[in-house]
Amino acid sequence: MLKKLASPAGAILLFTLIAAATAYFSTDTAVEKTASESPTAAFFATTLPDENGEPQALSQWQGKVVVLNFWATWCAPCREEMPELSELHTEYQDQNVVVLGVALDEIDAIKEFTTETPVSYPIFSAEDTGGVIAANLGNDKSALPYTVIIQSDGSIANTYFGRISKALLEETLVKIL
């Protein structure tokens, strides 16, 4: 009797595991194929919610120099660099440069953080997908903060692991502007 019950349950479990593995690997393969064509193509094809939960197509910044900063509200070095990123965004926005913050956090945590610590640049929530997006853009260490400078042609000018400064970012910006 136990064998009869175990057999259908085992078959259902096996089917569920195979379906889950197939879905997982087919999704990852699609992301990797897009990323291998151009690491930034997958980024610009993404839509993420802003701090108010409104979906934003990242393609709206295609053609600009993008200083893309991956961060989290619980990351002390991330929070420390935000005032300098705000200054950079304000000073360079007339030169076709935009700073974008992609938080690996829930929208509520981001909203609470930005209410207490306002920034001058757009912030997005990528709680579930941020790690994949960052990895496709070179973050092979899963480090935060992680910053990528994307040139107006979509190529990556530079990447930075860990806390950055405005002066460090300007070294790259001066070369590409």
Q: Is 75 a catalytic residue?
A: yes
In the chain, the amino acid numbered 70 is: F
Secondary structure class of 138 (helix, strand, coil): coil
Which residue in the list 58, 78, 100, 149 is annotated as catalytic? 78
CA dihedral 4, 6, 10, 13 (to 10 degrees): 120
- The answer to whether residues 70 and 139 touch, using CB atoms and an 8 Å cutoff, is yes
Encoded tokens for 73 = 């509200």
Q: 98: closest CA among 149, 29, 135?
A: 149
72, 75, 82, 173: the active-site residue:
75
Secondary structure (3-state) at 127: coil
CB-CB contact of 92 with 160 (8 Å): no
Dist. CA 150–CA 62, nearest whole Å: 9
Task: Assess whether 2 carries a catalytic annotation.
Answer: no
Place of tokens 């304000």: 90
Instruction: Point out the residues that are catalytic.
Output: 75, 78
